[in-house]
């Protein structure tokens, strides 16, 4: 119940500082102790994604929905389709837009281009409805 509330909208307001990420981890650990008691089993904590993993998953899921036209935001317009290149496998790689400020470097367009390029092509091509489950398995 806590995690969806705390992570709602993170592709937009992504916490970029380590202190904010630590606060997320404290909330997650406190919720685990509330549900499982003081002694949280290793299985219970292993079932949850780390905060970094969850933030990346939220970014990639939102981007996949943008590509499928399920949102009104067209994130590829900011990345610019013309600014892609092919790697050795013939697969398109996203080139993030240029930014000269810390705020810009933490924007979704730059974060997602870096994360997306490392995904295997079979995950990139799956529909957005099965995308979160597919990424969790990797």
pLDDT score for 136: 61
For 33-93, the DSSP string reads HHHH-SS--HHHHHHSPPHHHHHHHHHHHHHHHHHTT-SS--HHHHH-GGGEEE-TTS-EE
For residue 62, what pLDDT band results from cuts at 50, 70 and 90? confident
Q: What angle do CA 93, 120, 129 make, to 5 degrees?
A: 100
- What does the pLDDT look like over 68-91, one tens digit per residue? 878 777 666 666 544 555 555 656
pTM value is 0.74
């Amino acid at each position: 119940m806590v995690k969806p509330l705390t992570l709602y909208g993170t592709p937009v307001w992504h916490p970029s500082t380590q202190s904010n990420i630590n606060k997320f981890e404290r909330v997650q650990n406190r919720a685990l102790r509330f549900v499982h008691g003081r002694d949280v089993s290793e299985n219970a904590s292993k079932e949850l994604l780390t905060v970094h993993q969850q933030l990346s998953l939220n970014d990639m899921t939102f981007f996949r929905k943008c590509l499928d036209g399920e949102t009104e935001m067209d994130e590829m317009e900011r990345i610019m389709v013309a600014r892609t290149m092919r790697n050795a496998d013939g697969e398109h790689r996203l080139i993030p837009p240029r930014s000269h400020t810390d705020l810009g470097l933490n924007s979704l367009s730059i974060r997602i281009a870096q994360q997306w390029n490392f995904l295997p092509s079979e995950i990139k091509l799956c529909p957005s409805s099965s995308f979160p489950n597919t990424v969790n398995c990797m």
